[in-house]
Structure 1
Amino acid sequence: MKPPSYYRHTKIIATIGPATESPERLEQLIVAGVDILRLNMAHASRDWVLQILERIRTTSRKLGRQVAVMMDIKGPEIRTGDVDGIIDLTAGDQIELCTPDDTRSPSDMLRVSVNYDGLSRDVDIGQTVLVDSGLLRLRVVEKEDAFVRCEVLADGKLSSRRHINLPGVQVNLPSLTEKDYADLATGVEAGIDLVALSFVRRASDVDELREHLQSLGSTARVVSKIEEQAGVRNAIPIIKASDAIMVARGDLGIEIEYHQLPLVQTELVKACQAEGKPVIIATHLLESMISAAIPTRAEVSDISNAVREQADAIMLSGETTTGLFPLESVEVFKNVIQSIEPTVDKKLNSTIVLREPKAKMLRSAATLAQDLGQSGIIVFTRSGFLAYVLAALRPRGVPIFAFTDDEENFRQLLLPWGVEPFLMDFSDDPEETIKDALAYLKRRQWCDGGEWMVVITNVLAGETVIDSMQLRQVT
């Protein structure tokens, strides 16, 4: 069996932006093998979303290769307000972060507005406040209801609308903002497949988003972004409530000690695999390639580590939104994946808890396919359940061929590790459906005559429909 060159167990996600939003660039990304395109709603308008979704679908139909679309909603965040130019700050200087309720008279003290009226309630004296991805470090020395006075800990610069991190602080922000609600309505209208929820702190945040999507009539799957300490503490219930997890290392790397980040990443990947949920590693994988044509050796090692940990997907952000080398970045991902994947241990995932008898049968299917060699597993699914479980089992070297007759499910199956989905009508006769699937794979040169496939399907036993695992030879 020699699958097409673009087949990989590890999926690739690319964020769309000015560098890649043209029809020509989109076509190049899809041809290159990108599986999922991400829309970062921090910088997107309604008109752009509708336009880019239509452009993606049109390009996919033209090329005969579908990609999924993930909308990454901005979520709640604390930011500074506008300032005049760039302010130079020196260690020892004092600055006041003022909430919208601050009505005091002007003073000589440097005052900067913040958009969160609960700031003084949530922080304590001595608390560290990080501004602009930690480039500016402050310590709270005094607070009143409407302001927090801070001491500058190291020389730095402050400009307008900079993001604020409060490491270890449980902020009382809503999980969805008004902008998020508007963006979701647009995304559902346009036909998004996945929604990434930012700054997830608890499982109820996920439940709130899912209920809202259902109220809009959407079946989009929920990807929870773990990017602050509360999300790490509550990781297990969040993973259970979510369809997938994103290890968002940008803010997460600010929220926790930098030397703890690799350990937290590994633990989150393991926890997702134990629950059978896909996990995405994101942010800074190829940051240098925003402006450089080749990656650093450290970045290559970082990508390799994610592949060895068997993450379901790795993601490009600035590299493909504003970067000078978006296609080259995708090629680096592919090259590293294709070099590292064959070296990973072929042991199945032994940590996953298989709760249903049908799921336990899939472990036998994965073992059989690996023992056969040059084999694949065929499943027929309308919900995606079988393919997601098989992906979580991690049958190294075994393509998971997931056939579905549901277009939304088809695109959502582009996320799980090792799954290659196909859209095909099902026959009322299960035997005909199996024959159609085998012929489809042979016609598309996924397999050759004489090779053996493990097939998971329903069969009729009298009037009873039972689950079965079959061994079929391609003719």
Structure 2
Amino acid sequence: MSQSPPASVASSTANQSEPAKQAMSAYRHTKIIATLGPATDSKEKLTELIHAGVDVVRLNMAHGTGQWVREIVARVREVSDEIDRHVGVMIDVKGPEIRTGPVDQPFVLGIGDTLRLCVNESELTDDVASVTVNYPNLPRDVEVGATVLVDSGLMRMKVLSKSASRIDCEVMTPGSIGSRRHINLPGVEISLPALTEKDKLDLQAGVEAGIDFVALSFVRQASDVDELRAYLDELGSPARIIAKIEEQAGVRNMLAIIRAADAVMVARGDLGIEIDYQRLPLVQTELVQACQAEGKPVIIATHLLESMIESPIPTRAEISDVCNAVREQADAVMLSGETTTGAYPIESVETLKSILLTIEPSVSSQLNQRIQLHEPKAKMLRSSATLAQDLGQSGIVVFTRSGFLAYVLGALRPRGVPIFAFTDVESTFRQMLLPWGVEPFLMEFSDDPEVTIQGALERLRNNKWCPSGVWLGVITNALADDKIIDTLQLRQVP
């Protein structure tokens, strides 16, 4: 039996990212993710943001509450329904963090000074600059001589000595210590849970609101992803998991993590602190290529257009950075501060979109050769991508309830070929907004496959995605001698 789409989106034509304005030859493959904040979470700004071309919105729970999630997700859905352009919603849980405790007044430390990090308040002293930390195992996990980075890497220290409840560090880079400063321990295997109690409460609120993706911070090993998946299953959520790689352990275990997750985010903020900064571009490329080999979406995040927080135009270096992500063929690029607190959030999205549309046509049209396709149906998808590219001004139509076909096609990277993915499952519809090149549509499926195919082709024509007469590759099932077989058909838009 076919499943009817929910009433709230039954009339939706598609995720219409400017179908009337985008010729098939100018189709944008790389997706745009924007983080919501004070600059963009009003109804008016959300409308502008979605109109500008955002495909997925991110909710950063390091600065959010469960109530905020409920309100924002409802507002996003309301705006999407009103303008008939739907976006996915990602909740980015805070994850385990090591931070300093509160201080009455920030204090300044110079090179050679000593800072004492204490796991108990009783260890605080007036003799030596000291502050508490929220990680009880800190003295156990770090060794004398190890590097400790404070305030997102702005202050570098070296461990001089330690006891069961404190460590003394020599300041190598001067700076000031305020309340709740972030601590990084490069190369140290920390023993913190993958999910904190705050994360679980935030996830409960997110699942109730109907989130589509969960980004898990500081993923160190595949079991972290498994723990989150088990919790989502317990909550009855179909949300897909995005593993954020932002520390050395995650880089070392990248292959297992990629296989366990549904997608990966190259979180370059903390990652650039955890590893030698000059290695960051190499690690980014390695992660992108590993995701492409496994057929998993990959997101490039942090500092893409950082200067546009205060400036109406990006720097030349930022433009080159975005170009590099496009040429590496990442699935999505993500804005953070640019759209949370920046002065030019809509301009940032427009700028990002302009760069993507300009650079994508220069990328090689060769299909992804790294991906290993084992199933015959997956190999048929590669044939459909080759066929559509050979036809020119063509596309691929798939019908899917799980999203599998769309994700594989996106992973194949058929540049210049729109992937029109039809589903009758609302959660799948929005989850297909992330992979490269996929344009999802929500429509009711008929028991008669031919009726479903004709309905899809008419939808593409009526909404100006494809003009009449265009040839499309269609992946669908057919009945032959009472057996259902997979087929690749060549169909012309009526």
CA distance in 2, matches of 1:312, 1:447: 23
Q: Which has the higher contact order (CA 8 A, sep 6+)?
A: 2
Alignment pair present for 1:383 and 2:402: yes
**Residue 172 of structure 1 aligns to a residue in which SS?**
coil
Match of 1:32 in 2: 52
Alignment pair present for 1:261 and 2:274: no
Give the letter aligned to residue 77 of structure 1: E
Match of 1:473 in 2: 492
From 309, 319, 323, the equivalent of 2:338 is: 319
Match of 2:461 in 1: 442
CA distance in 2, matches of 1:10, 1:206: 25
Match of 2:303 in 1: 284
Residue by residue over 1:316-351, the C-alpha shift from the partner in whole angstroms, topping out at 9 and shown as x without a partner, is 001100001000100110010011000000000011
Give the letter aligned to residue 29 of structure 1: L
- Higher mean alpha-carbon deviation, 29-38 vs 4-13, is at 4-13
- Higher mean alpha-carbon deviation, 352-361 vs 81-90, is at 81-90
Residue by residue over 1:244-264, the C-alpha shift from the partner in whole angstroms, topping out at 9 and shown as x without a partner, is 000000000000001100000
Alignment pair present for 1:398 and 2:417: yes
Give the letter aligned to residue 421 of structure 2: A
From 409, 424, 431, the equivalent of 2:428 is: 409
Question: Within 5 A, what are the aligned runs for 1:66-81?
Answer: 66-81=86-101
CA distance in 1, matches of 2:21, 2:54: 13
Query: How much does 1:474 deviate?
Result: 1.2
For structure 1, the residue ranges without an aligned partner over 5 or more in a row are none
CA distance in 1, matches of 2:100, 2:125: 18
Call closer, same or farther: CA 1:338–1:97 in 2, change over 3 Å: same
Match of 1:330 in 2: 349
Query: How much does 1:3 deviate?
Result: 5.0
Residue by residue over 1:141-186, the C-alpha shift from the partner in whole angstroms, topping out at 9 and shown as x without a partner, is 0000100000000221111111000001110110000000000000
From 201, 204, 207, the equivalent of 1:185 is: 204
Residue by residue over 1:348-382, the C-alpha shift from the partner in whole angstroms, topping out at 9 and shown as x without a partner, is 00110111110011000000000000000000000
From 123, 141, 159, the equivalent of 1:122 is: 141
**Residue 351 of structure 1 aligns to a residue in which SS?**
coil
Question: Within 5 A, what are the aligned runs for 1:54-73?
Answer: 54-73=74-93
Call closer, same or farther: CA 1:32–1:105 in 2, change over 3 Å: closer
CA distance in 2, matches of 1:129, 1:78: 11
Residue by residue over 1:385-406, the C-alpha shift from the partner in whole angstroms, topping out at 9 and shown as x without a partner, is 0000000000000000000000
Match of 1:197 in 2: 216
Query: Identity over the aligned pairs, expressed in percent?
Result: 66
Match of 1:372 in 2: 391
Question: Within 5 A, what are the aligned runs for 1:226-305?
Answer: 226-305=245-324
Match of 1:461 in 2: 480
CA distance in 2, matches of 1:87, 1:325: 34
**Residue 42 of structure 1 aligns to a residue in which SS?**
coil
Match of 2:29 in 1: 9
Match of 1:347 in 2: 366
State whether residues 291 and 297 of structure 2, in contact with CA within 8 Å, keep that contact through their aligned partners in structure 1: yes
CA distance in 1, matches of 2:294, 2:55: 23
Query: How much does 1:49 deviate?
Result: 0.8
Give the letter aligned to residue 262 of structure 1: P
CA distance in 1, matches of 2:383, 2:173: 58
**Residue 130 of structure 1 aligns to a residue in which SS?**
strand
Residue by residue over 1:283-328, the C-alpha shift from the partner in whole angstroms, topping out at 9 and shown as x without a partner, is 0001111111110000000000000100000000011000010001
Give the letter aligned to residue 15 of structure 1: T
Residue by residue over 1:7-41, the C-alpha shift from the partner in whole angstroms, topping out at 9 and shown as x without a partner, is 51000000000000110000000111100000000
Query: How much does 1:105 deviate?
Result: 7.0
Give the letter aligned to residue 62 of structure 1: E
Residue by residue over 1:109-143, the C-alpha shift from the partner in whole angstroms, topping out at 9 and shown as x without a partner, is 11100000000011000101001111111100000
Match of 1:41 in 2: 61
**Residue 351 of structure 2 aligns to a residue in which SS?**
helix
Match of 1:87 in 2: 107
Alignment pair present for 1:140 and 2:159: yes
**Residue 200 of structure 1 aligns to a residue in which SS?**
coil
**Residue 122 of structure 2 aligns to a residue in which SS?**
coil
- Higher mean alpha-carbon deviation, 154-163 vs 439-448, is at 154-163
Root mean square deviation of aligned Cα:
1.0
CA distance in 1, matches of 2:261, 2:63: 25
Give me the TM-score of the superposition, normalised by structure 1. 0.98
**Residue 168 of structure 2 aligns to a residue in which SS?**
strand
**Residue 97 of structure 1 aligns to a residue in which SS?**
strand
Query: How much does 1:103 deviate?
Result: 3.0
Match of 1:210 in 2: 229
Give me the TM-score of the superposition, normalised by structure 2. 0.95
Give the letter aligned to residue 161 of structure 1: R
CA distance in 2, matches of 1:424, 1:292: 42
**Residue 278 of structure 2 aligns to a residue in which SS?**
helix
Give the letter aligned to residue 420 of structure 1: E
Call closer, same or farther: CA 1:105–1:50 in 2, change over 3 Å: closer
Give the letter aligned to residue 144 of structure 1: S
State whether residues 118 and 124 of structure 2, in contact with CA within 8 Å, keep that contact through their aligned partners in structure 1: no
For structure 2, the residue ranges without an aligned partner over 5 or more in a row are 1-17
Query: How much does 1:4 deviate?
Result: 4.2
**Residue 149 of structure 1 aligns to a residue in which SS?**
strand
Call closer, same or farther: CA 1:435–1:297 in 2, change over 3 Å: same
Give the letter aligned to residue 470 of structure 1: Q
**Residue 295 of structure 1 aligns to a residue in which SS?**
coil
**Residue 214 of structure 2 aligns to a residue in which SS?**
strand
Match of 1:431 in 2: 450
